[in-house]
Amino acid sequence: MSTQGYDDELRSERSYVAGLYARLDAERARVRGEYKAALRGNGETPMERDVRVRALATEARRLDVVDNGLCFGRLDTVSGEHSYIGRIGLFDEENEYEPVLLDWRAPAARGFYVATAATPENMRRRRQFHTRGRQVVDFTDEVLGRPGGDDRGDAALLAAVNAPRGDGMRDIVATIQAEQDEIIRLDHPGVLVVEGGPGTGKTVVALHRVAYLLYTHRERMERHGVLVVGPNPAFLNHIGRVLPSLGESDVVFMTTGDLVPGLRVTAEDPPEAARLKGSLKMLDVLAAAVADRQRLPEYPLPIELADVTVRIDAETAEWAREEARASGLPHNEARAVFGEIVTWVLTERAIGRIGRGWLTREDREAWEELRADLLEELAEDDMFAAALDELWPILTPEALLASLYSSPDRLRAAGADQSLSRARGDAWTVSDIPLLDELVDLLGRDKSADRAAERALERERKTEAEYAAGVMDLLVDRKDSMDDEDHLFATDLLFGEDLADRFGERDTRELVERAAADRDWTYRHVVVDEAQELSEMDWRVLMRRCPGRSFTVVGDLAQRRSAAGATSWDTMLEPYVPGRWVYRSLSVNYRTPAEIMSVAAALLAEFTPAVQPPESVRACGVRPWSRRVTEDELPAAVEEFVRDEATREGTSVVIGPPGMPGGMATVPPSETKGLEFDSVLVVEPARILAGGPRGAAELYVALTRATQRLGVLHHGPLPRPLTGLADIGTPTRQEQPLTRGLPRG
């Protein structure tokens, strides 16, 4: 294209994109107007109004987040037609709703991501826009279907992967690659496992898959939302902008430590304790711990009633316990069965003693009258209530598990390993969360507490209803006392339905708030990131949260840190979704440059030789370096790195083993999982490597966080796989090409 021709095309594209923004602004104004009208209501019920208000609020949020990069490309077919591709779809209402902008998730937009020179998908050209704000700065064209064409050259991709990192992960909606697009659009109703090495984009692919599923199955999925589970809060904060930038907000972000609402994780288990707690063998331990609290009295427990003393003996308690267990009810609910059996035995014995010599079973009326008196007396007897609490106590998951950990005797009785013992039973760890969640189902609810809460709620409703009635009476009296010329009355504005609704039980929280606070909430789809870290018990929790078993699971077995984590996907998933899970892999590294990946690959080859490292799409021209320093020099060397990086654009981090001397601000590798930085300094890699049974995986994570620059500081000798680093003290830039063979489409 000539310079003049390019300039003319650029002006034309700028005009078209400006027209798209005008339509976007008009659509925003329309939705906001409808939202304000919906708030006022137009005669529908409060519930109908609430649904409409929420729907319009969601639509307004979607329109508000697509301003940046609204339209990022154009696709031309061989027949001369062309389509513009963007973050959302826009339509021409005056021309039979013809699309003027295709949503990137629409089937017609797929060619933008998968067409190559060799396989053009009936497309002639792909045009990609470079925008700043609402302005198209320039564009690049790729002609498709040329003889001998092979690779997809993607300037937009290279610009994205070379750009300095910001505070959070960016969406890749404009640069999705063919292998990523296949996974994003995969039509599989069960569990999809996506495995990929560092930098392959598995996390961002999973998030774009969520956006795609919400687009294609919105009505089914939106009511229950989507759960995204990540390894730590820093990771969730890092990825938190991606889905909102794609117009999706009904997504709950959690770590596995957040899955029991209201519980706070304050401690960390040693590897052996984490391994034991993550095993399904803990199901037997928990069941035994519950059974251990269903006790028989060592000696008969006396219950002193007004006319007689009765006793709960071991034989009676054993019969009641057998009946309660046979009911199949959770522990707290089965207490009612236990209490009924004990009560029946005690009243029979009491009637027999009180009525000896004058009362016969034929005198049913007197018999039942005496039974009713005894039942009432037992219900109010403190000694009887204390006896039931001793033999079949109402338990909470927290109280049961805390008492189990803090008592060697109870651990022994439950068949648990003594390594689970700890001084403070309620110092909760991430590994305790699935056990507490399991106990919610094993124990069940305290029905008596529920009934008391219902009675209190009913009293509150009655009080509020009486207040509402009084308000209406006052308003009516006020209306009657006013002149007929006064046409606007409070009662004309305050409809009875609205007043009743004011005192109702309507939950006005957003879906995300309601779901996060409700342990029993179920989701339509769950994304699990860093899934190799999840234990067998963790998977039980997540399967409860998604009865439909619709999951996108992403991870890398080579990066597994947890002793209870996955050694194979089959072992973890087949028990829950036999034959309903599929596996896909990502092989191209978009984040880590070749210079850095070669260092990490040497480590990978030593500790997991069967795993093939991903191939980097680019070189950065900066050789990774190492510097050996004395222990006294180490803090100053770290400070020097931090100072130097503060003058550069982008992000940086210092990664080191726990317990670094001198209060150095280093981050352990486990807290950087899934994150990326322009520059990384790894401190004392030998100590990271020796830090536990999965030390090599930890070091592998640390070495693969950088997108541009990697440095290593060490006091002792370097681990053998890292001896190839340039021991030059400071990094040196070498002139190298910025690309190393882009991935094939």
Binding-site entries for ATP: 196-203
- H runs (alpha helix) in 380-446: 382-391, 397-405, 408-413, 433-443
Looking up tokens 């009934």, which residue turns up?
451
The token pair at 372 is 């009713």
What is the CB neighbour count within 10 angstroms for residue 510?
15
Round to whole Å and give the CA distance between 591 and 557.
19
The candidate with the shortest Cα–Cα distance to 586, out of 183, 118, 151, is 183
Round to whole Å and give the CA distance between 72 and 78.
21
The token pair at 76 is 């031309």
The candidate with the shortest Cα–Cα distance to 397, out of 330, 453, 335, 451, is 330
- Using alpha carbons, list the distances in angstroms from residue 375 to 342, 447, 533, 551: 11, 19, 54, 52
Q: What are the b/e assignments for 2-41, b being 16+ CB within 10 Å?
A: eeeeeeeeeeebbeebeebbebbeebbeebbebbeebeeb
Round to whole Å and give the CA distance between 147 and 233.
50
Looking up tokens 């996506």, which residue turns up?
194
Round to whole Å and give the CA distance between 391 and 637.
64
Round to whole Å and give the CA distance between 363 and 462.
43
Sheet order of strands, 706-714 included: 652-655, 677-683, 706-714, 625-628, 726-727
Round to whole Å and give the CA distance between 562 and 648.
35
The token pair at 535 is 């234990």
Round to whole Å and give the CA distance between 408 and 390.
20
Annotated binding-site members: 196-203
Round to whole Å and give the CA distance between 444 and 396.
9
Round to whole Å and give the CA distance between 634 and 641.
11
CB neighbour class for 509 (10 Å; exposed up to 12, middle 13-18, buried from 19) = exposed
Looking up tokens 């006005």, which residue turns up?
508
Round to whole Å and give the CA distance between 156 and 507.
45
Strand partners, 84: 74
Residue 103 parent element (H or E): strand 98-103
Name the DSSP class of 164: P
Please, which residues have CB within 8 angstroms of residue 728's CB and are 6 or more apart in sequence? 625, 627
Round to whole Å and give the CA distance between 152 and 742.
7
Looking up tokens 């039974």, which residue turns up?
371
Length of the chain equals: 745
Which three-class secondary structure state does DSSP give residue 340?
helix
SS3 readout for 432-487: HHHHHHHHHHHHCCCHHHHHHHHHHHHHHHHHHHHHHHHHHHHHHHHHHHCCCCCC
Round to whole Å and give the CA distance between 40 and 524.
32
Please, which residues have CB within 8 angstroms of residue 59's CB and are 6 or more apart in sequence? 31
Assess contact for 597 and 589: CB atoms under 8 A.
yes
Long-range contacts of 44-52 (CB under 8 A, 24+ apart): 45/497, 46/497, 46/498, 46/501, 46/504, 46/506, 47/506, 50/506, 50/508
